[in-house]
Amino acid sequence: MNKAAFGIMAFLVVAAFCFVPAGLDAAGEITHDGTNVYKVSTTETFEIKYTLDEGDEDKAITYSAKVINKTGDTMSSAVTPSSGSLGSGEAEELDVKVPSTAGEYRLVVEFFLDDVKDSQQEYVFNAVNPIVLTVNLKADDVTLNLEEFGVYFYVDGEKQEDSFKTISLSANGTGSVSYDWIANPDKSVSHSFYVKAVGGSGMIQGLDEVHVFYAADDDYSLIIVVAFVLLVLLVFYAVRIYRKPVKNFGKPKSRR
């Protein structure tokens, strides 16, 4: 029994080492306060850090940073500063310019010790075009003092903390409110949203009404290519029909 117990303990120790999460011993790191979905053509701030191991305290730490797309192409001037030196355990801020084209990208940071590459860390993020959600509002009683009031948008039942808007209604009690939803939702299923007043106002049409929508893909490049190919084929076919000679089989014989 002792041998069996020892064998089990040895197996558990080996298994524990095998299932240590990848990158746990990595000295370099990239962090960001928030989600990994950003609006196109904006700027996000990241922090990088590298902590020297014992025995390496006298080595100089430098880094090189870049943003690449899914095909491995480097985005020009996307990181500021794109290189520099670090103090052990000290955070350095990097300003990353989100590309203007929606898609998946990676912030890649290489860490060097005495100019020798030691490790590389990556941070995957998505650049998206905002999904504009709009609701039309109308006060049932135009005599109400509803010139200004605050509302929040709820998407898929979740309150969007950054969606607070102060609304102004016109003299006839009508108005509208919009919110740029920065997200990368599932495009194969439907989503819903509604607008809720902060203080509550049951006499305004449009509040608390649920709207269903699909997050359509904004990348129409493939559709444009297919449409262009079809147009070329149609033109070619039309020209061929136009230039095709008409055969004259003569006057049909009369019946006797």
What's the confidence (pLDDT) of residue 100?
A: 97
Per-residue pLDDT tens digits for 190-241 = 999 999 998 766 678 999 999 999 987 444 333 334 455 677 777 777 777 7
For residue 252, whether the previous peptide bond is cis, meaning omega lies within 30 degrees of 0, is: no
Specify whether the CB–CB gap between 153 and 191 falls below 8 A.
no
What's the confidence (pLDDT) of residue 218?
A: 45
What's the confidence (pLDDT) of residue 254?
A: 55
For the chain, which ranges sit under pLDDT 70? 1-26, 142-148, 200-202, 217-229, 242-256
**Residue 174 C-alpha from the chain's centroid:** 34
Taken in order of first residue, the domains within the chain and their CATH numbers are 24-128 (2.60.40.2550), 131-214 (2.60.40)
